[in-house]
Structure 1
Amino acid sequence: MTVPADPMSTALAPFVAMLGAYELGSGPVAVHRGLPSSTVSITIPEEDSLEISWVGRPGSSQRHRAVVAGLHLDAAELRQVGCTRGVWLTLSPLGAGALLGLPASALAGHIVDLADVVPAMADLPERLAACRTWPQRRALVAQSLLTGLGRHGERANHHELRSAIAALSGTTRVQEAAFRLGCSRRHLSSLVRAEFGVTPKEYQRLVRFETVRGRLVDAARSRGVGLAAVAAASGFADQAHLTREWRAMAGCTPTEWLRAEGLAVQGPSVGDR
């Protein structure tokens, strides 16, 4: 998936991790693997709808005009026919409450239609389709989010949740994160489960996975770093350990995913490791 970077307004920046136009390919049918994520994502095709299914779960296929996906530890497959462009944005767990009006836990592990989550945005896909340029589309989405912030912004000042995200992202040990926050492990677990819909350890696992994904892409683009080095930098025992974790979460090996994205890294294929 090709997504150009885009700066965010000051008001939305704490809650929107990314907002950009995507392009799944030039063919009439495009298939994209949606990887596990610590963010809430919204995908709005430029035309028609998206068919989405969980990887490895027969019969899980759904079709939506616009899609909201909560935090999830499994991969999904997105299939788009005809026009393979659209708008894609990701929200921090805090962003779900501040912009959509419900905690991220209400969406965790689920893929639902945007209209069902935020009825006020039900006509957003049609309004985006009427825009002629990307700046117009971006402005329309940003304005819709700002409207949501005006309605639900009281959740935006939840200092404890901000601190929990920072603490969990800064260590791989839940007990250490709780110590940094000055609370018990049980309190941290209850808070994260209630707001994010995952356990603190699962959230850390998602953050680690996303860090590895970024390093894999950087390594592939630089052509100077191999998978073994990525594994070592990410705290895995070895390349095989990284491969097992990646397969468990992404449903494929790192090498297979990079090839599907049109990338490759140095070193032997990890498919047989």
Structure 2
Amino acid sequence: MAAVHPALSPYVRSLVAYDVSFAGPGIHIGMPSTELTWVLPLDEPLGVAWEGEPGSRRVGWTSVSGLHTRPAAVEHGLRQRGIQLALTTEGARALWGVPAAALAGHLLELGDVAPDLADLPERLAGHRSAADALPEVERALLDALRRHRRPPQRPEVTRALALLTRGVPVAATAGDVGYSRRRLTTLVRDEAGVAPKTYQRLARFARSHALMRRAALSGEVSVATVAARAGYADQAHLAREWSEMAGCSPTEWVRREFPVVQATRGAEAAG
């Protein structure tokens, strides 16, 4: 996990240079979250599709996904090197010049979203490693931030998203920011592309995903404990959400992804 430049910190949640070796070709699960995912592979174009929807497959030197409630199938060979970024909803507007709502549920290439950054893969091609390429990515992001002087996300929406992330009920969040529930739903949907309740589900799922990752690394996996700590009513509730959002149970995810987790120990690559 690389340090994020202070000017970018409201917009870039994480910046990861990854270099992962695998026993053989396979599929990595791209998990839903409250962040937008941006991947810049270095060795070969990246193939990504919504799981179970081969017609959605995109192959390219960049991959961008908006908020989504279903898993993505990310293809890998024997080795993957590249840079992965997690952007806040405000980051889409600040760095790409588009609201996150315009990207929700979509798998795209960077040129589709931000044509002014379409040459970034070429600029990264000469770097010996993903870590060496990080300064080039940072420069590109800072340049983009200066170019896209769009109106910022409304402060009340920013606060509402923060409250929803923490698990505050939708009605209480609306009251806190001074809106009716209907008005809040409109504002959140216009900014993030999902309703407040869905955003809250994504935040809870992301917490459970992070907890499962840490549990897998420690070798002490307790789905019941993860369910309680993530804010689910019970283990069955967590299982239903994982079935929809990950396409598998938490324990199946550990079995499928644990080699990836082991290989990225210390890098904390976002899944």
Query: TM-score, normalising length from structure 1?
Result: 0.88
1:193 is matched by which residue type in structure 2? Answer: R
1:47 is matched by which residue type in structure 2? Answer: D
Q: What is the CA distance between 1:139 and its match in structure 2?
A: 0.8
CA distance in 1, matches of 2:111, 2:129: 23
Report the counterpart of residue 251 of structure 1 in structure 2. 247
Report the counterpart of residue 2 of structure 2 in structure 1. 6
Change (3 A) 1:60 1:157: closer
Report the counterpart of residue 17 of structure 1 in structure 2. 13
Q: What is the CA distance between 1:182 and its match in structure 2?
A: 1.5
Percent identity, aligned pairs only, is 43
2:184 counterpart SS class? helix
1:253 is matched by which residue type in structure 2? Answer: S
Range with bigger deviation, 245-254 or 148-157: 148-157
Give CA deviations for 1:93-124 in whole Å, capped at 9, x if unaligned.
Answer: 00000111000011000011101211111111
Q: What is the CA distance between 1:133 and its match in structure 2?
A: 4.1
Q: What is the CA distance between 1:83 and its match in structure 2?
A: 4.7
Change (3 A) 1:10 1:156: farther
1:230 counterpart SS class? helix
Q: Superposed, which structure 2 residues align to 1:160-179 within 5 Å?
A: 160-179=156-175
Preserved CA contact (<8 Å) 1:17 1:92: yes
Alignment gaps of 5+ in structure 2: 260-271
CA distance in 1, matches of 2:84, 2:157: 25
Q: What is the CA distance between 1:138 and its match in structure 2?
A: 0.8
Report the counterpart of residue 32 of structure 2 in structure 1. 36
Change (3 A) 1:142 1:124: same
Preserved CA contact (<8 Å) 1:41 1:91: yes
Range with bigger deviation, 201-210 or 179-188: 179-188
Q: What is the CA distance between 1:160 and its match in structure 2?
A: 2.5
Q: What is the CA distance between 1:57 and its match in structure 2?
A: 2.1
Change (3 A) 1:223 1:82: closer
Preserved CA contact (<8 Å) 1:53 1:60: yes
1:232 is matched by which residue type in structure 2? Answer: A
Which structure carries more relative contact order (alpha carbon 8 Å, separation 6+)? 2
Change (3 A) 1:168 1:236: closer
Report the counterpart of residue 197 of structure 1 in structure 2. 193
* Structure 1 segments (4+ residues) deviating >4 Å: none
